[in-house]
Amino acid sequence: ANLLKILIIFGCRTQEIRLSTWKEWDFDELTWTVPESNSKGGGEIIRPIPPRLVSWLLDLKGNANFDAVVLGEIKSGETVSQMCRRMYARLKHDAPWTPHDLRRTFSTKLNDLGIAPHVVEQMLGHKMGGVMAVYNRSQYLAEKRAAIDVWMDRLDLLADRSENVVLLNTYAATRSALG
């Protein structure tokens, strides 16, 4: 369940969380930095940690040391796939789904919520192409923070845990807050 929650919230690849250790998680800066060695694209990925997730993550961490694996143990890709198969069977879904489908949903829904495509791509850990990749080294951290807050609002709404959340269909309100 912890694995799926992280996959849904961050839109990360299973490898990124399966191999993640607590030293990647900075609770002062509220960032999760996936090292180059754990990312498919070969580059470091910096993801914001939503403030409302910190308490849950610290509970998950418990007394684990800095080098401990976030999920308690390294799980194989096949183990993760089996977990998902059991999950959709238990939920009685009509069609099977894979962890990769969660990434596709993350991307689609963030774009539907009006998040700029280049921000979504960065959150997914995708590389920019062409000349843009050469000249633009921005991590868009402020934009990613705003985007993950919008995403968390949406997830809370879907989980019916919203407390006076008014979900906007555009990203404009969050962008204006960035200045």
The one-character DSSP state at 23 is: G
Q: Which residue has the higher pLDDT, 20 or 92?
A: 20
pLDDT of residue 173: 47
Mean pLDDT of 165-176: 50
Predicted model pTM: 0.84
User: CB within 8 A of 66, min separation 6: which ones?
Assistant: 21, 22, 23
Could you tell me the domains of the chain? 2-178 (1.10.443)
For residue 21, give the nearest of 73, 80, 77 by alpha carbon: 73
Average pLDDT over residues 53-82: 88
**Which range (39-43, 64-68, 161-165) has the least confidence?**
161-165
CA dist 140 and 119 (Å) reads 7
Cα(64)–Cα(62) distance, rounded to whole angstroms?
6
CA distance 106 to 104: 5
Q: Tell me what the mean pLDDT of segment 140-164 comes to.
A: 89
Residue 13 pLDDT exceeds 90: yes
Q: What band does 157 get if pLDDT is binned at 50, 70 and 90?
A: very high
Complete DSSP assignment for 104-123 = HHHHHHHHHTT--HHHHHHH
